Structure 1
């Protein structure tokens, strides 16, 4: 697991990761439901789709859209076990520990908070 400041600096250098941003529908969903509710959704998604030791469709289990958490997962390389290994140093082949799951949630939460701040700033609010 990486220091979050170092991680986000590295992610900002990736053209692929930088292209992910919340579109208006996802931003409205996040603002309407609230960050705590969306983070609860993230906990559920991570527990079911990322935490198991073996994932049948690893690399394809996270949609690119449909929920703010899915976008955040791709933006932060928390979308599959391969990306977790490459970007976060969390090896494949074992179930995520509670600490690793909490780390993934922190990463997603930080990205979502940044998106809310950036979208508000760009909207002139």
Structure 2
């Protein structure tokens, strides 16, 4: 017997606001390890030179390759500490591995990130970079 489709499919979570992202970033930044990370030198210059739209595209691509799979290659060691503003931001925002995503953002391990989770991670990273660039000016 076939079941009928759900007449009320789940609605996607609303996109996070800048205020809600700021609250999350402020909470994560209270952790001493996370508070050590800031954009400096070449990483800061790259963020300024490339601009927010290119950095967002890079973040989306890097998260897709290194974090979105159910079992990322070398999970827990896949994110360098420098070399791109997104890498620094991932450590500062606890979006560097699936364990940190689970612990700090409530995104479970063992399954691929869905579209909304992927967008959320990119939003967190890009908001942190935006705040760093503004603060360094």
- How does the TM-score come out when normalised to structure 2? 0.83
Which residue in 1 is equivalent to 2:7? none
2:46 to 29, 35, 46: 29
2:131 to 99, 102, 114: 114
Structure 2 Cα separation of the partners of residues 48 and 5 of structure 1: 26
Structure 2 Cα separation of the partners of residues 94 and 8 of structure 1: 24
Which residue in 1 is equivalent to 2:24? 7
Which residue in 1 is equivalent to 2:107? 90
2:57 is the alignment partner of 1:40: yes
1:78 to 90, 95, 109: 95
- How does the TM-score come out when normalised to structure 1? 0.91
2:118 is the alignment partner of 1:101: yes
Could you tell me which runs of 5 or more consecutive residues in structure 1 were left unpaired when the two chains were aligned.
121-125
Please tell me the root mean square deviation across aligned C-alpha atoms, in Å.
1.5
Which residue in 1 is equivalent to 2:35? 18
Matches within 5 A, 1:38-77: 38-77=55-94
Q: Which has the higher helix share?
A: 1
Q: Deviations over 1:9-37 (max 9, x none)?
A: 21121010010001121111111111111
Runs of 4+ in 1 over 4 A off after TM superposition: none
Larger radius of gyration: 2
The number of equivalent residue pairs is 120
Structure 2 Cα separation of the partners of residues 117 and 5 of structure 1: 14
